[in-house]
Amino acid sequence: MRARPWLFEEHPELEGRIPWTSLGDLPTPVHRLEGLCESEELCEIWIKRDDRSSSHYGGNKVRKLEFTLADAKRRGKRYVLTFGGLGSNHCLATTIHSRRLGLRSILVLHPQPINPHVRRNLLLDVKFGAEVHLARNSLERALIVAWIKLTRRGIYTLPLGGSSPLGALGFVDAGLELARQVDSGELPEPREIYLALGTGGTLAGLLVGLRLAGLDSRLVGVRVTPERIGNARRVADLANRVVRLLRSRSDSVPDLRFSPSDLEVIHGFYGPGYGAPTREAVEARELLLGTDGVELDLTYTAKAFAALLAKAIAGARGPLLFWDTFNSVDLTPHLEGVGEGDLPPRVREFLRREGGPSL
């Protein structure tokens, strides 16, 4: 496990000027998808296992939280207020890792299609001590947030997906980590890196990190959220804000500038909406589980992997790297002793009306 971020190794003056605390089991492994290679003759596909980024709860959020929750602690906050869909992985990750640091999460959640994954994440939110609110529209959300801020002291606010410039630093660091793995011969330099594009913090940070590290890999974001949230302009703008943040703390960080053409965004795998499964995603998920035993989720990673497969089958030249951003720690034991009766009445009522299979 690393004692400090690669970012601080390369720019030591950042240490102490940028908040950071260790939450992840990093670096995460990389390997070739051998099973897929045998069955499909798709031999130049590699995977970065951020699903194993923490034994408490992995996925892409841990890297962001190492910086943002450290900031909350440094500022003496007691609560972390954040937002997402009812089954948000970001909200669950925030809850679990906040608790490790003695902070309590307050989640303001918006509706999304209800499925067993959503129900499960909601129960886990409550099990790990989150205060959960349902906001069915932006007016309700504003009122709930105003009430929370009036009635509590010591609130640290994290935006949707944890994608603040500070949060994105987690993926600047991930880009530096990948470059070290390439340097040490663990994998070849990828021609393209595929990952799910949600709120963009992951891609924005990687864009900066890869450039700082001198890697030429092209980033391909597969959009899984509405286009007003997931788009190349927003990613490039956030990447520029990340550089400004770094340069405000250290002169040694180069003055990089990013534009939307610095990454590719694939829009065709989104399907009917956020969290709505597509046939391609279901098939990609089954395929990878069968060949390499890697489990993807249908909201984010299966859509991204389906796009990579389509490109590979159409003859894209490798090596291609798939960045697995979904948690693979099994939290089933934590579901013991918690049921839908423990959810707030408004959330329970919403689940009852919206239907969908229960757990």
Ligand X SMILES: Cc1ncc(COP(=O)(O)O)c(C=O)c1O
Contacts with ligand X, residue ranges (CB under 6 A): 59-60, 89-90, 161, 163, 196-203, 297, 300-301, 325-326
Q: How far apart are CA 136 and CA 139, in angstroms?
A: 8
Q: Minimum distance between the CB of residue 317 and ligand X, rounded to whole angstroms? A: 25
Q: Minimum distance between the CB of residue 151 and ligand X, rounded to whole angstroms? A: 28
Provide DSSP, 132-191: EEE-SSHHHHHHHHHHHHHH-SSEEE--GGG-SHHHHHHHHHHHHHHHHHHHTTSSPPPS
* Residue facing ligand X at closest CB distance: 198
The smaller minimum CB distance to ligand X, of residues 157 and 352, is found at: 157
Q: Minimum distance between the CB of residue 60 and ligand X, rounded to whole angstroms? A: 5
Nearest-CA neighbor of 271 among 298, 310, 232, 235?
A: 298
Provide DSSP, 11-45: SGGGBTTB-----S--SPPEEE-HHHHHHH--TTE
Q: Minimum distance between the CB of residue 223 and ligand X, rounded to whole angstroms? A: 9
The smaller minimum CB distance to ligand X, of residues 5 and 87, is found at: 87
Burial of 111: CB neighbours in 10 Å, binned 0-12, 13-18, 19+: middle
Q: Minimum distance between the CB of residue 300 and ligand X, rounded to whole angstroms? A: 4
Q: Minimum distance between the CB of residue 301 and ligand X, rounded to whole angstroms? A: 5
Contact status, residue 321 vs residue 192, Cβ threshold 8 Å: yes
The smaller minimum CB distance to ligand X, of residues 84 and 190, is found at: 84
The smaller minimum CB distance to ligand X, of residues 152 and 241, is found at: 241
The smaller minimum CB distance to ligand X, of residues 59 and 190, is found at: 59
Q: How far apart are CA 92 and CA 84, in angstroms?
A: 10
The smaller minimum CB distance to ligand X, of residues 112 and 325, is found at: 325
